[in-house]
Amino acid sequence: MSQTLDVAALAAAYADKSPQEVLKLAFEHFGDDLWISFSGAEDVVLVDMAWKLNKNVRVFSLDTGRLHAQTYRFIEQVREHYGIAIEVLSPDPRLLEPLVREKGLFSFYKDGHGECCGIRKIEPLKRKLATVSAWATGQRRDQSPGTRSKVAALELDSAFSSADKPLYKFNPLANMSSEEVWGYIRMLEIPYNPLHEQGYISIGCEPCTRPVLPNQHEREGRWWWEEATHKECGLHAGNLIAKD
């Protein structure tokens, strides 16, 4: 298992490779130490592909405490369907409780989503990623023209790497379109979140997610009260950094 990769060379070599080929590269170098990030949305395709390559695939999901009921049930459905453990990460109550006590449950509508996401998503993710060498996400270039249009198949995670501990981030679905993702889901009849049938495309926390109208971009359903070009919660903050 290699811990030193030529990221730029591999990103260029795998720019047009299939998701399965990118995942094979990830497993080749990191084996069971590669973790799959599963959000309870259409990145179930990533879980399906990874599981077919490695039945011991390791999966984690962030439970912000504010997810839709359908998402919680879907995470359990995926766990049972594949017979895998899904490590569910929760916010640190020592950080969350003072926020709720001082600002209530909906401060993000006034203050922006950064503080809430920082506690409910970023801190648990940072805690997890500090223990791993590589992770894979379901990011796609077509999800957000403003922040994800340059997502690479492989990158050094600029948000969560440290000087003495590089973190490698694989994005196997980067080249897939929404149409291709849903073609995969339908053809193979894999589970999906029932919220998709109600007009939800990009699914996050219940107070911060809404269905989109025809011809609206999927990210318009997230944090709709904020400026449109910065619709990232911080999980993929490197997208914003790279854009500047």
| DSSP per-residue codes, 92-160 | -HHHHHHHHHHH-S-THHHH-SHHHHIIIIIHHHHHHHTT-SEEE----GGG-TTTTTT--SEEE-TTT
- By the 8 A CB rule, do 173 and 140 touch? yes
CA distance 84 to 33: 15
Distance CA 181, CA 241 (A): 27
Nearest to 217 by CA among 140, 131, 123, 145: 145
Binding-site sequence positions for [4Fe-4S] cluster: 116-117, 205, 208
**HSE value, Cβ hemisphere, 13 Å, CA-based, for 244:** 5
- Residue numbers in the known binding site are 116-117, 205, 208
Q: How many whole angstroms separate alpha carbon 244 and alpha carbon 232?
A: 14
Set 26, 44, 233, 235: catalytic member: 233
Q: CB neighbours (10 Å) of residue 214?
A: 5
233 is catalytic: yes
Structure tokens at 63: 């439970």
- Whether the CB-CB separation of 31 and 2 falls below 8 Å is answered with no
Catalytic residue ranges? 233
